[in-house]
Structure 1
Amino acid sequence: MSEYGHELAEVQREHWQRTYGGHPGMYGVEPSTPAVHAAAVFRAAGAREVLELGAGQGRDALYFAREGFTVLATDFSPVGLEQLRAAAGAQGVAERVTTKVHDARDPLPLADASVDAVFAHMLLCMALSTREIHALVTEVRRALRPGGFFVYTVRHTGDAHYRAGTGHGDDIWEHGGFAVHFFHRRLVDALAEGWNLREVHAFAEGGLPRRLWRVTQTVPR
């Protein structure tokens, strides 16, 4: 990572720490629509263990646990994960949820071929460079078992905030303090090289609304 990229990453980490600290439960308790979809996909595939990247305060990780999956929830914000653990205890699913502070730029804390499914709701479109995104997806493939599913969502270049606010290069734009890497379709296709690309589903979320893709791909058997 360049010195500038490292500085942006640290600024974003602190921003999320303050945001989670000042707004407990800011996303509510209901799971995201992509998480509900992913749980159905994972269940149909016979998955038992789910890694969630960028779990934040945990509404999706907790949903996976309530649905009977064993969950490893990672995030670079200790504050968010503290709130997740407290909620897991309150909901009676603490035994099915493990948390780990992890920066998506670092290798995943998992052995090769050790997890059934990976979920990431808008983690890949945070303040990550294209090179860092490719490295992360390579790590996801390493950690997944053959036939394992990876479901992720990203904001794309059709979003109203694309090219709004402060530009950081590499299609990263900062608006309201949040830096987002907006995806072109060619990046989705490049990330699927060597995988089986099952679906690229366009959807909208929130009041703006945000424009996203939900991508489903699997490791070949």
Structure 2
Amino acid sequence: MSDDAEDLAETQRQHWQSTYTAHPGMYGAKPSAPAVHAAQAFRAAGVTDVLELGAGHGRDALHFAREGFRVHATDFSPTGLDQLRRAARDQGVAGRVTATVHDVREPLPLPDSSVGAVFAHMLLCMALSSQEIHALVGEIRRVLRPGGVLVYTVRHTGDAHYGAGTPHGDDIYEHGGFAVHFFPRSLVDSLADGWALDEVHAFEEGDLPRRLWRVTQTLPR
């Protein structure tokens, strides 16, 4: 990683830490619409365990746990995961939730072929280079069992904030302190190489609104 990329990564880590500290449970308790969809897709695929990347304070991880899945939640913010653990205890699902501080630029802390599904809501479109995103999807492929399902969401180049704010190269723009990698469709397609690309669903979220894709892809058996 270059010095500029390392500086951006550390700045983003500190920004998320301070944001979760200042705004506990900032996204609320209600699960995201992609998580509700993913839980249904995972159940249809016979999955019983989920790895969530970029879980934050846990609204989606907790939804998976309430739906009966075993959940391994990761995030690079210890503050966010502390909030997740407290909420899991309060909701009586702590026995189904494991939370680990982890930076997705590093190898995933799981053995090969050890999990049935992976969920990542707006994690792949954080301040990650295209090379780091490809490496992460390679790690996801490594830890998924054959037939495992990946559901992820990303903001794309049709979003109103694409091209706005501070440019960092590689389709990464920083706006309001948050750096986002806006995905062209070609990046989605390249990440699905060797997978079954089941769906690329366009949707909107939030007040801007943010424009995203929800991508579902399955690892061949």
Asked if Structure 1 and Structure 2 have the same fold, meaning a TM-score greater than 0.5 normalized by the shorter chain, the answer is yes
1:57 equivalenced with 2:60 (yes/no)? no
Aligned to 2:81: 81
Measured in 1, the distance between the counterparts of 2:11 and 2:45 equals 39
Letter in 1 for 2:111: A
Structure 2's unaligned 5+ residue stretches are none
1:135 equivalenced with 2:118 (yes/no)? no
Aligned-pair CA distance for 1:87: 0.3
SS, match of residue 4 in structure 2: helix
TM-score (ref. length: structure 1): 1.00
Aligned to 1:69: 69
1:17 equivalenced with 2:17 (yes/no)? yes
Instruction: Within 5 Å, give how 1:109-148 maps onto structure 2.
Output: 109-148=109-148
How many residue pairs end up in the alignment? Answer: 221
1:184 equivalenced with 2:196 (yes/no)? no
Letter in 1 for 2:199: E
Measured in 2, the distance between the counterparts of 1:85 and 1:163 equals 37
Aligned to 2:219: 219
1:162 equivalenced with 2:167 (yes/no)? no
Deviations 1:30-50 (A, max 9, x none): 000000000000001110010
SS, match of residue 38 in structure 1: helix
Letter in 2 for 1:68: G
Aligned to 2:207: 207
Deviations 1:33-75 (A, max 9, x none): 0000000000011100100000000000000000000000000
Measured in 2, the distance between the counterparts of 1:203 and 1:164 equals 20
Measured in 2, the distance between the counterparts of 1:16 and 1:122 equals 14
Measured in 2, the distance between the counterparts of 1:44 and 1:189 equals 24
Aligned-pair CA distance for 1:25: 1.0
Give the root-mean-square deviation of aligned CA atoms.
0.3
Letter in 1 for 2:30: E
Counting aligned pairs with the same residue, the percent is 76
Aligned-pair CA distance for 1:171: 0.3
TM-score (ref. length: structure 2): 1.00
SS, match of residue 39 in structure 1: helix
Measured in 2, the distance between the counterparts of 1:29 and 1:78 equals 19
Structure 1's unaligned 5+ residue stretches are none
Letter in 1 for 2:67: E
Displacement over 4 Å in runs of 4+: none
Aligned-pair CA distance for 1:153: 0.1
Letter in 1 for 2:7: E
Aligned-pair CA distance for 1:12: 0.1
Measured in 2, the distance between the counterparts of 1:94 and 1:170 equals 39
